Structure 1
Amino acid sequence: MKGGPFPRLGAWVKLPAPESVELLALAGFDFVVIDAEHGAIDIRMMSTMIGVAHGCGLAPFVRVAGTAPRDVQVPLDAGAAGLFVPQIDDTARARDAVQATRFPPLGQRGASTSGRAGRWGLEGLADYLRSGNEEVRLVVQAESAEALSAIVEIGEVSGVDAVFIGPTDLAVSGQFPEGDGKLADLVAAAERRCADRGITLGTTASGDAPDLLGRGYTFLVLGADTTILRQAAHALVSGARTAAPEVLR
């Protein structure tokens, strides 16, 4: 794996707040995924959050909306440790993601050493190109039945570093009627195939983290900052109301 072992425990960041990144670092997370697909985070805020993550010792990933040059170029120039690219259903889309993420001759990413990725112009061009191709991690998201069926072929595309199984989009895809067991069977088969071929695999987790790690997952996203805040706030309020029901109605 590029740049050493893949960081193990992460969280989605959906709130446009650098403090969210800082708090997750203090909580002990290894990486964050700044959500530019579903979160309300603009380019300036994304860059600030990436810088804060680096300062806190977190690996900052960005979940992009797609493989358009601007979706990919901006977070990488801002110093993202890697990208999560959604809706990668086949090897053709995986190769598109590689082309957008890697410098020539491996891809078509544009070069600019004057940003954070180039240490604001201090890094020489050769080192900048090397780090972009050898250290930036590309995580492709498998979120359909087609992606699960082709997961090994997708994961073995040159330039892809890991595959992330996205359970939410799989569940709402309409391909799996509730209760028929097909989704669980497909995921289990995908897990076994990835383990057999040594493909780095990740997914979301909550209380099932030990089970998922035992099934061969290398890295887990444990939740979103929004969910963590809501759950903690709800627990505090519920605890207070339960302790003093006659006063706090």
Structure 2
Amino acid sequence: MTLIDRLAGDKPVVTAWSGVPDALTVEILAAQPFDAVTLDMQHGGHHEDSVLRGIVPIKRAGKPAIVRIPVGRFDMASRALDFGADAVIAPMVNSAEDARRFAAAMKYPPVGERSWGPTFAMPRYGQGTQQQWLEESNKRTVSFAMIETRSALDALDDILAVPGIDAVFLGPSDFSIAWSRGKTVNSTLEDMMETVASVAARARAAGKFTGIYVIDPAIAGRFVKMGYRLLATGSEGQLIARGAAAQLGAISESIGKA
């Protein structure tokens, strides 16, 4: 099942978040029971070569591969798709013009201006002709425009109206900084939650998919209730720390009983 099929099913899709630029680490992450894996080039360590190689174990695990590109690197959106990514998240899309540039890199004509060259992607997806690839790619790939600033919030309806923008992805940490005018970083800032919910509602009313980063797992259900469906969480560092704490806690408990 493709990522867009899962999102269209209106059920939560939980993606792991990889920042370690190593295909072996991505392979281990992809083997865990997440629905998808995201390779982060913005704040994570992933780069073009690690994305090219990291997509392979994700696809072998039968999961969608998502790439978050660096700010303004819309050319990398096309490259990520040519490497086999199912979706691209573009940070700091603050205007309709940003959205148009992003969509142009994500979609083949007549929707966008994506250049032809799926040298790696087609074999990684399996059998199919070039004509089938051309006809199906625009419908299969998902473009997530990140909403993180007051400018993006003001331009939200215009961003949603851009052909080729399939979804929005809210970055709650950056959004909290913008919302508080630089006074705090708090992904669960209660004062902004009504607006966070309105972003999902407006996107869904426009027929677009929605995603958000979940730092605190306890609030995931609240985001789903708001209408968010792609839930990003679980970086390598977080998973290792929590796993180590659980393992050491269990050992200490056993020693204590002995």
TM-score range, shorter chain: 0.7 to 0.9
Q: Which moved more, 1:235-244 or 1:156-165?
A: 235-244
- Name which of 208, 211, 223 aligns with 1:202: 211
140-149 or 192-201, which deviates more? 192-201
Is the partner of 1:84 in helix, strand or coil? strand
Preserved contact between residue 145 and residue 175 of structure 1 (Cα < 8 Å) = no
Structure 2 residue 231 is the aligned partner of structure 1 residue 230? no
Identify which of 56, 59, 65 aligns with 2:64. Answer: 59
1:4 aligned partner: 5
Which of the numbers 107, 118, 126 marks the counterpart of 2:122?
Answer: 118
Look up the equivalent residue of 1:161 and give its one-letter code. D
1:190 paired with 2:199, answer yes
Q: CA deviation at 1:176?
A: 5.7
Does the Cα contact within 8 Å between 1:101 and 1:138 map onto a contact in 2? Answer: yes
Contact 2:3 2:64 in 1 (8 A): no
CA contact under 8 A between 1:176 and 1:182: conserved in structure 2? no
Residues 38 and 132 of structure 1: is their aligned pair in 2 closer, same or farther, counting only changes over 3 Å? same
1:130 offset after TM fit, Å?
Answer: 2.1
User: What SS is found at the alignment partner of 2:70?
Assistant: coil
Cα deviation for residue 27 of structure 1 reads: 2.5
Could you say what secondary structure the match of 1:209 adopts? Answer: helix
Which of these residues, 37, 60, 84, is aligned with residue 89 of structure 2? Answer: 84
Alpha-carbon spacing, 1:118–1:169, altered in 2? closer, same or farther (3 Å): same
Opposite residue 221 of structure 2, the aligned amino acid is: P
How many angstroms does 1:142 deviate by? 0.5
Paired position in structure 2 for 1:104? 109
Q: 1:9–1:220: 8 Å Cα contact kept in structure 2?
A: yes
- Matched to 1:47, the amino acid is L
Letter matched to residue 6 of structure 2: P
Deviations along 1:92-149, whole A, 9 cap, x unmatched? 1111100111122222221114x12232897533222223322111111101122223
Q: CA deviation at 1:21?
A: 3.0
Cα shift readout 1:135-173 (whole Å, capped 9, x = no counterpart): 111111101122223333322321111111101111234
1:162 paired to 2:167: yes
Match of 2:228 in 1: 217
The question of whether the paired residues in 1 share the 8 Å contact of 2:3 and 2:86 is answered with no
With normalisation by structure 1, the TM-score equals 0.85
CA distance in 1, matches of 2:167, 2:129: 28
| Counterparts in 2 of 1:134 and 1:168: CA distance versus 1, 3 Å | same
Q: Which runs of 5+ in 2 are unaligned?
A: none
In the alignment, does 2:181 pair up with 1:175?
Answer: yes
Are 1:12 and 1:223, in contact at CA under 8 Å, matched by a contact in 2? Answer: yes
Q: Secondary structure at the match of 2:109?
A: coil
Number of aligned residue pairs: 244
